Structure 1
Amino acid sequence: MYQEMKIIDFLNEVDSPSPAPGGGSVAALCGSLGVALSRMYAHLSISKKRFKDLDETVQIQFLRTFQMMEAKRSELLEAIDQDSEAYNTVMEAIHMPKDSDEQRTARSEAMQKATITAIESPYHIMELSTEIMSTFMDIIPFGNKNAVSDIAVGVLMLDTAVKSAGYNVRINLSSLQDDALRTAWQKRMEEQLSKSESWKTLLLREAEKYL
């Protein structure tokens, strides 16, 4: 749905009174743009003589990472729609009837289930983005240094995706009634934020060697 829109149409949809697509979908878009920029860096590298002169093992790993990133970019694109669908699930639960005890119980259970979905969706964006960043040392040192600024921006976009999706996890955590479950999700979210910050620092330091 949203992933197939023209850029201007998607921007207009975000810039509207509708609450979806919102921050989670935009985080997924940031991540997919980060992957696209990183793949552009690879595209501009693999045809160069310098790349072809590299050790065969390095070339193979570079190309494996390049191919993996295409699949992850597709997952992040799908997450644009998935996050909006997760929000819609929460809204459906909120609007369930609550006139009787049975209805209130059913509504409460539906809201908790929908809240978990609304946490899982942006967390998936966080996890995907950090996973992609963790492979970039297979790419940055061996690519076309004339385009190293592009993969640096790609790193920043992926880190932005992680941090942005993290806010969407946090806002939904407050709706969880299960304290242990909320604490577990909080810990998982913080671990992804820490990983992303570490990878961003390392990767930008590597990229800046060539600027």
Structure 2
Amino acid sequence: MLIAMKITEFLEELGSNSPAPGGGSISALAGALGGALTAMVCRLTVGSGKYAEVETEVTALLAEADALSGVLTRYVDADTEAFNKVMAAYKLPKATEAEKLDRSAAIQQAMMYATNLPLEVAACCLKVLTMAVRILAIGNSNAASDAAVAGLMAHAGLHGALYNVKINLGSIKAPGFQQEIQTKMDLIIKEDERLHSELIAVAGKVIG
């Protein structure tokens, strides 16, 4: 498993000539890091008398941040597995017409899976960004820069994941599926733009 590697081992594998892990796994990792940083700021806020008024809200944020970081961590390996499924489908035999049809169907199925997965990564990153913005505004001000970095990591992971959605979507021959995915992407992008602007504005006020 990629996620079980030491950081140096992971970086070595990432920098090799193997196409996976690639941008999809890194996008999931960026989101997971953002989630973990968000959780850290929550933990540095909970239990402090100075922030007693937001204790209940921050406790709820902490639980969600931990959960999302765990989900995104699993997606680091899942993205590479999705890529491998696509490659396996392309390697299916195509000597006969029946084999060609089966291969084509397998490729489309694998591509749809490889499109839905980074879309889910993007959706999770959007949730992390939402929480990072909130904890930046109400959390321990001594960890404000950490909350801001958490939001930036989620923002980067979101856009990285959407690039993977887009590059896979072009290979799918189902117009209905393409439209459905595009609609979901548009909604995610719109909300990300709003939250990213808010992150920068709040960071400017809290950090300077």
TM-score range, shorter chain: over 0.9
Which residue among 50, 75, 78 is the counterpart of 1:82?
78
**Change beyond 3 A, Cα 1:135–1:34:** closer
**Change beyond 3 A, Cα 1:152–1:137:** closer
After superposition, the C-alpha distances for 1:71-115 in whole angstroms (9 at most, x for unaligned) are: 100000000011000000000100000000000000000000000
TM-score in terms of structure 1 length: 0.94
Which residue among 53, 58, 62 is the counterpart of 2:58?
62
Structure 1 equivalent of residue 13 of structure 2: 13
Structure 2 equivalent of residue 210 of structure 1: 206
Structure 1 equivalent of residue 27 of structure 2: 27
Q: Partner of 2:126: helix, strand, or coil?
A: helix
TM-score in terms of structure 2 length: 0.95
Contact residue 24 and residue 122 of structure 1 kept, 8 A: yes
Which residue among 90, 98, 102 is the counterpart of 1:102?
98
Q: Partner of 2:44: helix, strand, or coil?
A: helix
Aligned residue identity for 1:127: A
The 5 Å alignment of 1:189-208 reads 189-208=185-204
Contact residue 68 and residue 128 of structure 2 kept, 8 A: yes
Select between 71-80 and 38-47 the one with higher mean Cα deviation: 38-47
Q: Where does the alignment leave 5 or more consecutive residues of structure 2 unmatched?
A: none
Q: Percent identity?
A: 34
How far off its partner does 1:162 sit?
0.5
Is residue 2:153 matched to residue 1:161? no
Runs of 4+ in 1 over 6 A off after TM superposition: none
Distance 1:60 1:47 in 2: 10
Q: Where does the alignment leave 5 or more consecutive residues of structure 1 unmatched?
A: none
Q: Partner of 1:175: helix, strand, or coil?
A: coil
